[in-house]
Every structure is written in structure tokens, then in C-alpha cells.
Chains A and B, each alone.
Chain A
């Protein structure tokens, strides 16, 4: 109990944890609120009002179809979060068990898993995503799966590496001597000891997933209209670059803020969860 309290106390004093946490929290709140309410319905096309400058009615102006930019950003956050959560979830859900299995079994099992991870890793993420969309057609689900698959070897590698270092410590040998099997030791001793590494990595991969989704949508391979997405907003803004440059700036800033927030949060968590710091009272 004391340990948990002290983690919280240290977390709230950590500047990048607080800043990153606030930015991420803001984004999550936006996305949740947007499920029920947005300033304008995002499907509303208002041609007479197209490319309007910021005003009291449209705080950030409108795009080439007269849609409210603020509302598009507001609702677009859903998309980014969805991609991030599911892609990281796939990575964690598949990669971590594989990494733990490799570490617990060693020998040829480890070789096979890690070489398969290397193989997957050798393809640049975006290229393999483009390949998948070429096969299954563009769309949100395909892009999420593609980004998720790219996350699997990342988590497999990091969990295997961290787990190997836990397995080499005496308390796992002591647990074996107490009659525990590899699965029980993995759950009771290995996983809790590598959790902080995984949490930090998850925030980084979350940011990468948001960027990847934006890139895919920008290329027209990710989220399809009319579902708003920050990446697609960039794509649409491209053709009016010289008439309305701000159209590209808003989604760009949104993406940058999300990624910055997640990275700051990850940095903060890295410090806060470091067990060596937790020892110091």
C-alpha cells in the first residue's frame, strides 16, 4: 500500500507526467464527449459558408465543404484513440504472451518466436499496412489491424528481453525450488516485474499508432469518409494549401499534441515506475 501511495505522490510531482497526463486526459475527454455531443454534426455540409474564417459561430472556421473544423477535430479524436487502443491492445495481447513464452521456454521455442518477430519487423510498418490495404481494400479496420500487427514484434521483443532479465534473478530460481511451474512463475513474478517497462512502451506505441493512422488516412488508405479523421483532414486540406493554409495547421497541431502528450506521459511513467527510484524514501 505504501508503495502505491508513494508512486502517486512522485507522479504528481513529476512535470512531464503531469503535462503529458493532462494532454492525454483532455484528448480522452474530447473523444468521450464527442460520442454524445459535438458543436455541429460532422456530416453537415454548408456550401455557402465554405472556407469561412474563424468566427463566433465557427471557432476554427469551416472547410471546403462548409463543415465546422472544430467539430471535425473534436470527433476525429475518437478515431485516433480507437486506433491507438486497439493497435496497442493487439500488440500487447499477442506480443507480450509470445515474448513471455519465448523467455520461459528458451531453446528452439524462443528462436522460432524471435526470428518470426525479426521477420515481421523487417517490413517497414507503413509498407506492410499499404500491402494489407492493397489486398483487403482500404478502411479503418484494415489499417488498425495492420498497425496492430506491426506492434506485435515490438512488444514480443521488449517483453522477452525484460523477462529474460527477471528469469536470471534468484527469486525465480527460488520459486522453481518452491515447486512453481513456469506459467505460475511468469504470472506471479515475471509479469509484475516487467509491467512498468510494458506500460511505458505502450504509451510510445500508442503515439506511433496515432501517427501511422494519420499517415494511412492521409494516403487515403485508412479511415474512409464520412468518418472524420485527423489524417484525412490533412489530405483534404492539401488541395487548398494556398487558399486556406490553416486547414492543414489545425489537424497537424492536433496530431502533434496527441503524440507529444503521449510521449511526455511515457517519459514521466518511466521515471515514476522505475523500481530503483521507488526504493528511495
Chain B
């Protein structure tokens, strides 16, 4: 803990995080060396198709992986190592220094408790607040997340609120103890498009005001463009490309990222145009190629791609002036330049 007092610690530093999960066919490598870095007030987006390891990364950060999972690598939260930390220690961190917003606000609240109790829970747990203090703070938080008529709604049960309102409650729970790191796992997937925008704008505003680091997980490219500073593209349990958002949207290098962007519907496409798709589908974890995970679906792949795992390399597509060393553009593909 004494380490945390030294100021210049990166908020979150994940290096070479590997997770294996037991399956009927043996151990499956679900995360294959994920690395990421985040500062306070920064927003990082994780993007990729289902099963690429986005949510698993979030669970690993929270220490909520299944008990039998094998984890190696390092997760440093302000200099404090989370990998291998005991469960009681992790319990003290969860909710206090890292909060999580879940995908499904309909089911992530307990139907039997009024909402203020659920917001008060982490406060009473981590900050030893009394019932009345925590209730007052719950009201403050509900006002922060702009829940209309917050005072009357303290005693409301989850089923009396709409989806967007419930997600606001979830956000206030995640932020109750002023965490340093906020993880939002597809926070708006279950919401209407109009409500999505409001909720994301709210999250973004709170992140800015509270100075927390936000890890936003989504499969929605458009959402990334508007809401995060940096995007990391995941495929087959690894990060294939990461760059600042404007950089990535301007110059995508990895063949998978290009495929992802090409598959996106756009305004102005001629009627009847078929969207480009990436051939094949994400193989099961057990069946991923030994080399580059994407090699069997990649149009640029050569024989070596199937055998040799690619190393992430810094690339420079922009003028050197804009390409700051702190925010490098990294790609895990030796053949990225062969467009």
C-alpha cells in the first residue's frame, strides 16, 4: 500500500495477461498476453466480436474469473499487483477502487431491495457509513446521475424503473465509493438507441468530473469513435491493434481491424450494396491457429503467419509530430504494410 503514495504510478498497467479456462477438451487459452495501460481521466475502449476476450479481460481486472481459471502476467492497479491477490484483499478493492457497470440493468439489480439500499451497500461495506449517512449519499449519487425525481425514487424497487433509469442506478452504485477505475461492459447494449446516447454522455461526463479511468467494452465502432481516447481491438484473446481513436479511425493497420471497419454499414452506400464480411467465423479457443489467431481468416496470411505468433510493433503512419511516444500505434501483424 505504501507504494500507492508515490505519485507517478500509472493507474492501470496490464502486462502480458494470460488466462486459461478449463473446458471439456482441456485448458483453453482465453486471453493470450493482453497488455494495456491507462491513466486517470483516460478512457480506453475494448472492441471485438463476441468471444474475443473483451469481457474476460474485464472480469480478470476485477478478479472475478471462475475459481479454476489459470492466470499469469501482471495487473498493476496504481502499482499494486492484483494477480495472485487473496480473495479478501480483492473484496476490499472491488467497489472501492474499481467499479463495474454491467450490460443488463434489468437483471443486475436485486428485485427485492429498494434502490437506495443497493446504492448504499458498497458505501456501508467500504466506508463504514451509517444507514442514514449512506441514504443521504445515495440521494446525492442519484442526483449526480440525473435520475429524475431522485428523492421519491429512493424507495423505489427496480421493477418500477425503466431500463435507462436502472442503468443510471447501476452507474451510481459503481461510482458510489469514488473508484479510480471504472469498467463498463457493454453498458448500453440493452438500451434503446436514444437512451444509449444519454447514458454514455453521462458516463463520459462523470469520468471527466471524477477523474477516473474508464475501460469501455463494446462491439459498437460508432460508440467508440465518440466516447473513448484510445481503442484496443481484440481478436482471439489478444490485442491485435491499439491506437488513439482518431489515429485508428484514420489509419487502421491490422487486417482484422480493416475487416471490422469494412463490415460497418455507412450512410451513402448505394442501394443494394452488400456489406463486406470477414470470411469464416471466430474459431473455438481450442482450435485457434498456433501462430496469429486471425491467420486462417486473413487474406494477407502466408505460411509463416500460421506458425509464428506475431509480435506487437510500434508503427508510425502519421507525421512524427502527432505521433507522441506515450500513445503509440501498435499492431500485431508483420504484414500490416502490405495493403
Contacts and interface: CB of A to CB of B under 8 A. Distances in A.
A178 B94 contact: yes
Chain B CB within 10 A, most for which of A170, A174, A175, A184: A174
B96 A179 contact: yes
A122 interface: no
Contact of A178 (B87, B95, B159): B95
A178 B122 contact: yes
A171 B108 contact: yes
B95 A179 contact: yes
B125 A171 contact: no
Interface string B102-117: 1110011111110000
B121 A177 contact: no
Interface in B103-156: 103-104, 107-113, 121-122, 125-126, 155
A180 B176 CA distance: 14
B214 to A, nearest CB: 15
B88 interface: yes
Chain B CB within 10 A, most for which of A1, A106, A179, A180: A179
A188 B62 contact: no
Interface in A147-188: 169-171, 173-181, 184, 188
B100 interface: yes
B31 interface: no
A107 to B, nearest CB: 7
B223 interface: no
B67 interface: yes
B92 interface: yes
Given A170-B104, A170-B107, A188-B121, A177 B112 contact: no
Contacts of A171: 107-111
Interface string A60-85: 00000000000000000000000000
B67 A179 contact: no
A179 B107 contact: no
Contacts of B293: none
A174 B102 contact: yes
Nearest to B106: A170
A189 interface: yes
Contacts of B249: none
Chain B CB within 10 A, most for which of A171, A176, A188: A171
B173 interface: yes
B173 to A, nearest CB: 6
Nearest to A2: B157
A180 B99 contact: no
B196 to A, nearest CB: 19
A177 B99 contact: yes
A177 B155 CA distance: 23
Chain A CB within 10 A, most for which of B68, B91, B109, B126: B91
Given A178-B122, A279-B159, A193 B110 contact: yes
A174 B121 CA distance: 11
B91 A174 contact: no
Nearest to A172: B110
B94 A193 contact: no
Contact of A170 (B91, B108, B126): B108
Interface string A186-228: 0011001100000000000000000000000000000000000
Given A179-B94, A180-B125, A174 B173 contact: yes
B195 interface: no
Contacts of B263: none
Given A180-B91, A279-B159, A174 B125 contact: no
B64 interface: yes
A180 B62 CA distance: 12
Which 9 pairs, one residue from A and one from B, show the smallest C-beta to C-beta distance?
A179-B95, A178-B95, A179-B94, A177-B100, A170-B108, A170-B107, A178-B122, A171-B110, A174-B108
Interface of A: 1, 3, 106-107, 169-171, 173-181, 184, 188-189, 192-193, 275, 279
